[in-house]
Structure 1
């Protein structure tokens, strides 16, 4: 059974492989990511929590682990994650409950 850290490393490895195969695409995606995570009205942690909520509602496990890790690095707390997950569940229904539980488990495993 892989850990959250293993899942994160695997996702990062796959992204790196794809980035090498399509550098022009990832140069553009990197610019988008920089804008999306730069502080403005929302802090970088809040922006990452929004990304987690979207990942939960979309059911993307690799996205969840990637953005939970980033949220932690930007100082997000478990209480803040739970609030973001509450919104994700409102928007995503039952499947978001299941992925929200995974996101909380990932946060606890990565801390």
Structure 2
């Protein structure tokens, strides 16, 4: 197993430890994550690449590991990751709940 694969396993183990310590909270988070990662208009791989881009902009190495692993399991390719990273680098800052709500509001207003 490579060093990177070990890091993914370590991140997954830490998540599991937290889930056992706070099962009610983590149950809710798990449901949110499942819905967010499910294929819809975007494929599951594309959604995972979005998560990677956000993780990059937020500076969360464990998140990057976790979501790249998931993206690859859904068939994401390196060139797709690079495009997602282009966007993460462009934006640099952090998407947040308030700006997500604003984006939805703007799109609905323009429809």
Query: Shorter-chain TM-score: which interval?
Result: 0.7 to 0.9
Q: Alpha-carbon deviation of 1:3?
A: 1.3
> How far, CA to CA, are the matches of 1:59 and 1:11 in structure 2?
15
Query: TM-score with structure 1 length normalisation?
Result: 0.80
| Backbone CA RMSD of aligned residues | 1.2
1:28 to 2:28 alignment: yes
Q: Alpha-carbon deviation of 1:12?
A: 0.6
> How far, CA to CA, are the matches of 1:92 and 1:3 in structure 2?
27
Measured against aligned partners, the alpha-carbon deviations of 1:63-101 in whole angstroms (never above 9, x if no partner) come to 0000000000000000000000000000117xxxxxxxx
SS at match of 1:62: helix
Partner of 1:99: none
> How far, CA to CA, are the matches of 1:19 and 1:56 in structure 2?
24
Partner of 2:96: none
Partner of 1:97: none
Partner of 2:91: 91
Q: Which has the higher contact order (CA 8 A, sep 6+)?
A: 1
Partner of 1:49: 49
Q: Which runs of 4+ in 1 moved over 4 A?
A: none
Unaligned runs of 5+ in 2: 94-111
SS at match of 1:28: helix
Query: TM-score with structure 2 length normalisation?
Result: 0.80
